[in-house]
Chains A and B, each alone.
Chain A
């Protein structure tokens, strides 16, 4: 809207300022407590020690981080490629709902950590088992939420499109998919955080690369500073990925009621 007021600089600073102040405060507390209580380095290193470690092992960590990032992205994108068509099938075909849906639920109740070693045995020491575990962990919310979105299309909308002589493909492209998009994004936001977990689980079971491998290595050597380095990088990576999905959601579903709440609150 043209007439919408731009956010004042106070609000803008507030939006970034409060979370930032909280994080800085927590970091300072960490640093001060570890130093004041003289906690040994192998038990809990100070934040400054961890940050210095990230700096000194930068290229080592970057190599492994980029591998993990690759696994997360590959698994996540595959989860979309598998999850959305599966949701479409479940939502539009009763037989599929009766056969595929129970399988989807089954795939989630099987503990991933238990089947991960099997993947490693079957697929060897490649990136494939890691990507597969990531896919398996993250596709569930995508399917569930997309099905919910596809199924909640109002009957009148269906009638309307029938009266326009809409083909099945047009119906999907122009009506069903855009209608389900906010639901899909709700699923994607859960899925991207799960994908990070999935990549680490996959790497733990058998890998010579990735931050999951670095974590195992660090734990084995009681190198707590290295473990914290990996955890911090992993967390930042997860937040960054979530942020990207969030931005995409804002751009693509700005029309949806969930994105409009702010305007009402702003009155």
Chain B
């Protein structure tokens, strides 16, 4: 597997030094992602999933272990990627189209080609008809769509997404998740998707990687065997429920999710493994 893996994470750990001693953010992570695969990382807050994404992007250095992307060792910020963060990180002083084209400018791409591509992305992803608007004139969901266009305009093989829909309201989130599936099916990128939303992860992914609380380790890897295109009608289906329940059970066994009967004081039963108080 690891021979033809596109992203190969081998024995990666991360420890932050702090005044009260070292903080172990990531345990030992081994993970291989195939070319064109959609992999989601779910885990509780602070489990180091964003840290892992930044290590893959070369924006943070690991304490030990090795990461290769496309056969090349990651030891500096990678530029052959597209990144989407939780906030859109748009440049307020640029119009929508110029926010997308900054990629092309910085990379010295052929501007005519880049403009064409930006326009077809705006058609695919949205928002259409807002090319010359400023970011502040757009809603949060539309801003995030612009950020996705920007991450795709230079046609990178790998898309890194750090809770991209985390700051959106539920309706926008649902629509954008659905649309993003379509975008992914059209563009066929390898996607490394970090989220704490189980539904979103199961809906979008080929595989979902569940992580433990800090120090983050891989707890389980679940292959999602549901044909695409998937719709939100799946929510009631047994198959979808099976995967969701499996991941929820993982969080229960970690003590991240608790049932009411386990809560202290209510039914009188003591909190055995429960972390929630």
Q: How far is the CA of A260 from the CA of B89 in the complex (A)?
A: 19
Which of B59, B79, B85 contacts A164 (CB under 8 A)? B79
Contact B134 A255 (CB under 8 A): yes
Q: How far is the CA of A124 from the CA of B241 in the complex (A)?
A: 87
Contact B77 A162 (CB under 8 A): yes
Contact A156 B79 (CB under 8 A): no
- B149 contacts the other chain (CB 8 A): no
Which of A154, A175, A260 contacts B136 (CB under 8 A)? A260
Contact B105 A174 (CB under 8 A): yes
Contact B136 A255 (CB under 8 A): yes
Q: How far is the CA of A176 from the CA of B103 in the complex (A)?
A: 16
Q: Which residues of B are found within 8 Å of A253, using beta-carbon distances?
A: 93
* Most chain B CB atoms below 10 A, which of A161, A253, A257: A161
Known: A159-B54, A164-B102, A165-B107. A256 touches B92 (CB 8 A): yes
Q: How far is the CA of A15 from the CA of B166 in the complex (A)?
A: 43
Interface size on A, residues (CB 8 A): 24
Q: Could you tell me the dominant secondary structure of chain A's interface residues?
A: helix
Which of B82, B85, B106 contacts A166 (CB under 8 A)? B106
Q: Mark A143-166, 1 if CB is under 8 A from B, else 0.
A: 000000000001011011111111
Q: Which residues of B are found within 8 Å of A256, using beta-carbon distances?
A: 92-93
Contact B106 A178 (CB under 8 A): no
Contact A156 B106 (CB under 8 A): no
Q: Which residues of B are found within 8 Å of A156, using beta-carbon distances?
A: 85, 87, 89
CB-based nearest B residue for A178: B93
- B194 contacts the other chain (CB 8 A): no
Q: How far is the CA of A165 from the CA of B109 in the complex (A)?
A: 13
Q: How far is the CA of A255 from the CA of B81 in the complex (A)?
A: 29
Q: How far is the CA of A165 from the CA of B58 in the complex (A)?
A: 12
- B91 contacts the other chain (CB 8 A): yes
- B128 contacts the other chain (CB 8 A): no
- A108 contacts the other chain (CB 8 A): no
- A89 contacts the other chain (CB 8 A): no
Which of A157, A164, A181 contacts B106 (CB under 8 A)? A164
Q: How far is the CA of A1 from the CA of B134 in the complex (A)?
A: 9
CB-based nearest A residue for B150: A160
- B78 contacts the other chain (CB 8 A): yes
CB-based nearest A residue for B76: A162
Q: Which residues of B are found within 8 Å of A174, using beta-carbon distances?
A: 102, 105-106
Contact B93 A255 (CB under 8 A): yes
Known: A174-B102, A174-B105. A157 touches B89 (CB 8 A): yes
- A170 contacts the other chain (CB 8 A): yes
Closest CB in chain B relative to A188 CB, distance in Å? 17
CB-based nearest A residue for B79: A165
Known: A1-B137, A174-B106. A163 touches B92 (CB 8 A): no
- B152 contacts the other chain (CB 8 A): no
- B12 contacts the other chain (CB 8 A): no
Contact B89 A160 (CB under 8 A): yes
* Most chain B CB atoms below 10 A, which of A164, A181, A253: A164
Q: Which residues of A are found within 8 Å of B77, using beta-carbon distances?
A: 159, 162-163, 165
Contact B107 A164 (CB under 8 A): yes
Q: How far is the CA of A166 from the CA of B54 in the complex (A)?
A: 17
CB-based nearest A residue for B103: A164
Q: Mark B49-82, 1 if CB is under 8 A from A, else 0.
A: 0000010011100000000000000000111011
In chain B, positions 34-61 with a C-beta closer than 8 Å to chain A are 54, 57-59
Q: Which residues of B are found within 8 Å of A162, using beta-carbon distances?
A: 58-59, 77, 79
Q: How far is the CA of A107 from the CA of B143 in the complex (A)?
A: 45
CB-based nearest B residue for A165: B79
Contact B134 A159 (CB under 8 A): no
Q: Which residues of B are found within 8 Å of A163, using beta-carbon distances?
A: 57, 59, 77-79, 81-83
Known: A159-B59, A159-B83. A257 touches B136 (CB 8 A): yes
Q: How far is the CA of A185 from the CA of B85 in the complex (A)?
A: 29
Some 28 contacts from A to B, beta carbons below 8 A apart, are A1-B133, A154-B87, A156-B85, A157-B91, A159-B57, A159-B77, A160-B85, A161-B106, A162-B58, A162-B59, A162-B77, A162-B79, A163-B81, A164-B79, A164-B102, A165-B79, A166-B106, A170-B105, A170-B106, A174-B105, A178-B91, A178-B93, A179-B91, A181-B93, A255-B92, A255-B134, A256-B92, A257-B92
A residues within 8 Å of B by Cβ? 1, 154, 156-157, 159-167, 170, 174-175, 178-179, 181, 253, 255-257, 260
With A162-B58, A181-B93 given, name 17 new contacts (CB 8 A).
A154-B89, A160-B85, A163-B57, A163-B78, A163-B79, A163-B83, A164-B103, A165-B107, A174-B102, A174-B105, A174-B106, A179-B91, A179-B93, A255-B136, A256-B92, A257-B92, A257-B136
